[in-house]
Copies of this chain bind each other. A is one copy, B any other.
Amino acid sequence: MRTRKSAATRKAEIVEAALRLADRLGPDRMSTEAVANAVGITQAGLFRHFPRKQVLWEAVADRIGTMMEEGWAEALRGKARPGDKIRALVVAQLRLIRATPAIPAILFSRELHTDNDGLRTAFLALLGRFHGRIAGLVEEGIDAGEWDADLDPGDAAFLILGLVQGLAVRWSVAGRGFDLVAEGERLLELLLRGFARPPAGTARPEPRS
């Protein structure tokens, strides 16, 4: 019993450690003992702050939500054009994933979702908010004449979300062997280019064979 910290500080420390360990070990292999060791308390001591492990996961989910929302707010500051806002949002999201790679691991962990439906729907809502913001910006861009008026903002936003998620997956499977953010920026430019008004005659693809 060296130092005693306030419950609030400890809780934050624990959540932080959980985010680190969920990445290193995989969310489902992150044991309460590993987390306790990482923050320098005993395993039993952890339960003083989170009476069940699930409550810890809820706190982690909360933290992820906060980090994302903060990142988005920060990213949008000073950006005017919808295209730039979208670029900023995507870059912010990728930077967050790079700094906290546990996020996709937790977000998409089948293990966590099987007996924790609340978590699953919380993450679904979070992704929904991201999608909503992007879709809104695409609509602005269409109104501003920057992109094709035939573009469905929701679908376009799904493509952008897919870019981020697909990239995160590839980055993880590839052992983080490339620059997540730079790769994302390049692919986003390519995608956004395609949102521009198509040349007459190519707008609708020919019917399939």
**Chain A residues packing against B (C-beta within 8 Å):** 22-29, 78-81, 83-84, 87, 105, 107-114, 120, 123-124, 127, 151-152, 155-156, 158-159, 161-167, 169-170, 172-175, 186-187, 189-199, 202-205, 208-209
Contacts and interface: CB of A to CB of B under 8 A. Distances in A.
Copies of this chain, how many?
Answer: 2
Given A170-B127, A173-B107, A83 B205 contact: yes
A24 B159 CA distance: 28
7 contacts: A26-B109, A26-B112, A105-B110, A151-B190, A155-B190, A159-B190, A164-B166
Given A155-B187, A209-B80, A110 B169 contact: no
A27 B105 CA distance: 13
B165 A161 contact: no
A167 B110 CA distance: 15
A56 B63 CA distance: 36
Contacts of A123: 173
Given A193-B203, A196-B198, A26 B161 contact: no
